[in-house]
């Protein structure tokens, strides 16, 4: 990623800079006009966007990047850092490259800044959805999947590789055989997890609120 930004960044082990503040694009209920939301986010200064094929936000995000360039909010695609992920239905060595190419097509981009293995799980191929049953689970060849991820990097389609939701044991295993080590292990962190570990009741209130408005 190149270009000026007011957002602090960290330098990954790949040598590329990643803005530390990013906009996650997953929501159970998507706004009716995600393109306008993302364009407004770019206008407000967001430069890191996290998406996934299962989120349903890759295509509108791609449209938003093109629109932001057209409006002069950014000068080129290189001014934004785009993260997407390999979903569980595609966690197979033979499906990694086609899945990445599909994400790039949805986004209208030639490369991703960061590509993550979304979960260390493989499920029966089919529609992208968030919830699966135990009967849908299949053995995962993580070594083969990671080798395919490294091949995507060698092709220039991805600048940095990473994982998501890996335990320290699984991450240690991956580091033992990877040629290109993961630059990121993206994990969820909520106060709910801490409260659960301490035997406390975590009261979570949900509000319909957003500080990003189109227009």
Contact status, residue 112 vs residue 77, Cβ threshold 8 Å: no
Annotated catalytic residue: which of 46, 55, 111, 115?
55
Rounded Cα–Cα distance for residues 199 and 215 (Å): 45
* Nearest residue to 112 via CA among 16, 13, 42: 16
3-class secondary structure, 210: coil
**How many CB atoms within 10 Å of residue 133?**
8
Backbone angles phi, psi at 70, to 5 degrees: -60, -40
3-class secondary structure, 45: coil
Q: Is 55 a catalytic residue?
A: yes
Contact status, residue 31 vs residue 37, Cβ threshold 8 Å: yes
Q: Is 215 exposed, middle or buried (0-12, 13-18, 19+ CB in 10 A)?
A: exposed
* Helix/strand/coil percentages in the chain, nearest 5: 35, 15, 45
Contact status, residue 88 vs residue 123, Cβ threshold 8 Å: yes
- As annotated, the active-site residues are 55
């Amino acid at each position: 990623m190149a270009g000026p930004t007011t957002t602090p960044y960290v330098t990954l082990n790949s040598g590329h800079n990643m803005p530390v503040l990013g906009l996650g694009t997953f929501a159970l209920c998507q706004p009716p006009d995600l393109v306008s939301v993302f364009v407004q986010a770019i206008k407000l200064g967001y430069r890191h966007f996290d998406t996934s094929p299962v989120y349903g936000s890759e295509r509108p995000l791609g449209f938003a990047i093109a629109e932001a360039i057209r409006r002069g909010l950014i000068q080129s695609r290189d001014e934004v850092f785009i993260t997407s992920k390999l979903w569980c239905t595609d966690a197979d060595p033979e499906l990694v490259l086609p899945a990445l190419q599909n994400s790039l097509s949805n986004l209208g981009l030639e490369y991703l800044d960061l590509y993550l293995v979304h979960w260390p799980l493989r499920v029966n191929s089919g529609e992208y959805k968030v919830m699966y049953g135990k009967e849908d689970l299949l053995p995962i060849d993580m070594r083969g999947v990671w080798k395919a991820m490294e091949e995507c990097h060698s092709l220039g389609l991805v600048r940095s590789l990473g994982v998501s939701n890996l335990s320290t044991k699984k991450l240690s295993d991956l580091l033992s055989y990877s040629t290109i080590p993961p630059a990121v292990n993206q994990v969820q962190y909520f106060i709910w997890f801490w409260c659960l570990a301490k035997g406390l009741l975590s009261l979570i209130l949900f509000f319909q609120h957003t500080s990003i408005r189109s227009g």
